[in-house]
Amino acid sequence: MVNIKKLNKISPVIYDFLPKEKYNVSSHLEDSESDAFIVRSADCHGMEFTEDVLAIARAGAGTNNIPIDKCTDQGIVVFNTPGANANGVKELVLGCMIAASRNLPEAYDWVKTLSGQGDEVPKLVEKGKGQFVGGELKGKTLGVIGLGAIGIMVANAASAIGMNVIGYDPFLSVDKAWTISMYTHKAEKLDELLEKSDFITLHIPQNDKTKGFLSTPEFSKMKDGVIILNFARGGLVKTTSLFDAIESGKVKKYVTDFPDADTLCHPNVLAIPHLGASTPESEENCAVMAAQQLRDFIETGSIVNSVNMPECIIPPSDTVRLTILHKNSPNMVGQITNKIASYELNIADMANKSRGDIAYTVMNLDHEISADAIAELSQIEGVIKVRVL
């Protein structure tokens, strides 16, 4: 039985992909008895993982809640589910762009104050509505920072409703570029986007390089009255700089899916409780993808959509399969194959993939491998984790 601990509420669709005859999926497991974890936003920094832990599947995109380097060092494969919740986020971004521009939250609050005015309500509505006049999106310029799964969907949808779109992503892949609307203008430099946009939306991961991505120098280059949307992560925007920019009239509104004690009740902040991916569709898409990737890795050794290990797609096989995560350094494969040969085992098939400092070797063997051989393989310097499937 494989124990998979759920660290958050996950769509029950996972049970279709992780059958109970083989998988014990529960939130009640101890960390120490878990072979793998499935998680949404729970903070895994500070967790201790036993050497039996094989993988962590993030049912979602952002992995800043997972200690990636520690997992890599321990040979724990971390997966995410790219694009699985992108449509959910895109729709909320569009909705919030309209809500912010048309002053809907303020109007909604105000109209309720007319309660108790009886037949006067329609007249009072007409008299008071002028205070909530807000601009249309058509013809305005939207700057999209990060053209990944979500950014591209937002850019394409905004083009379709008549916005001018400027995109900025210095790491954009050619495959992704093919999916971007031809109407999206590519900003060579971030400054161009900052200077020209009426709305700016963030769709980049939060990491050491992007923390405080928008701070005082960036705000100072923006147009007066810009509306900023942050459906990526709270730490991308430096709060003190944001409040200065609101104070000076630079930023008209800040829409955030990641409120904190400072931003929560600010009158120019439209705060949403991290609802970007909270749709049944996104939750199910993420759960299916996470469960499939986890099961595939556990049963065949294939690695797809990992954020810390090399991609390695290998068809299932009836033979004994050995998987070895190891350092990507000279003569590792030589040492491993020599050790296999010293036990008079024949390698029927083999794959070796690498990513940065880490490599992954998968072998189909003609015969069973002994516990002694596995122990000796594990002791080779640079070998991180050995599994026999």
Ligand X SMILES: NC(=O)C1=CN([C@@H]2O[C@H](COP(=O)(O)OP(=O)(O)OC[C@H]3O[C@@H](n4cnc5c(N)ncnc54)[C@H](O)[C@@H]3O)[C@@H](O)[C@H]2O)C=CC1
Residues that bind ligand X (CB under 6 A): 60-62, 82, 85-86, 89, 145-151, 168-172, 203-206, 210, 231-233, 257, 274, 276-277
User: What are the helix (H) ranges across 104-238?
Assistant: 104-112, 121-128, 149-160, 174-177, 190-196, 216-221
Which one, of 225, 227, 157, 215, lies nearest residue 190 by Cα?
215
Q: What is the DSSP letter of 223?
A: P
By C-beta, is 39 or 142 nearer to ligand AKG?
A: 39
Among the candidate windows 47-55, 59-67, 208-216, 362-370, which touches ligand AKG by CB under 6 A? Answer: 59-67
Contact between 270 and 253 under an 8 Å Cβ cutoff? The reply is yes
Among the candidate windows 56-64, 99-107, 169-177, 248-256, which touches ligand AKG by CB under 6 A? Answer: 56-64
**Sequential DSSP letters for 232-265:** S-GGGB-HHHHHHHHHTTSEEEEEESS--TTTTT
Q: Nearest distance from residue 296's CB to ligand X, in Å?
A: 21
* C-alpha span between 332 and 260 (Å, rounded): 48
278 binds ligand AKG (CB under 6 A): yes
88 binds ligand AKG (CB under 6 A): no
279 binds ligand AKG (CB under 6 A): no
Q: How far is CA 3 from CA 32, 81, 315, 369, in A?
A: 10, 21, 24, 25
61 binds ligand AKG (CB under 6 A): yes
Q: 143-167: buried (b, 16+ CB within 10 Å) or exposed (e) per residue?
A: bbbbbbbbbbbbbbbbbeeebbbbb
* C-alpha span between 197 and 251 (Å, rounded): 12
Q: Nearest distance from residue 194's CB to ligand X, in Å?
A: 12
82 binds ligand AKG (CB under 6 A): no
By C-beta, is 85 or 323 nearer to ligand AKG?
A: 85
Q: 34, 55, 60, 251: which one contacts ligand AKG (CB under 6 A)?
A: 60
Contact partner at residue 40 from ligand AKG, ligand X, none, CB < 5 to 8 Å by partner kind: ligand AKG
**Tokens 């321990």 correspond to what residue?**
74
Find the binding residues for ligand AKG in span 27-46 (CB under 6 A).
40-41
Among the candidate windows 55-63, 71-79, 306-314, 378-386, which touches ligand AKG by CB under 6 A? Answer: 55-63
- State the residue number with the nearest CB to ligand X: 148
For ligand AKG, the binding residues (CB under 6 A) are 40-41, 60-62, 85, 277-278
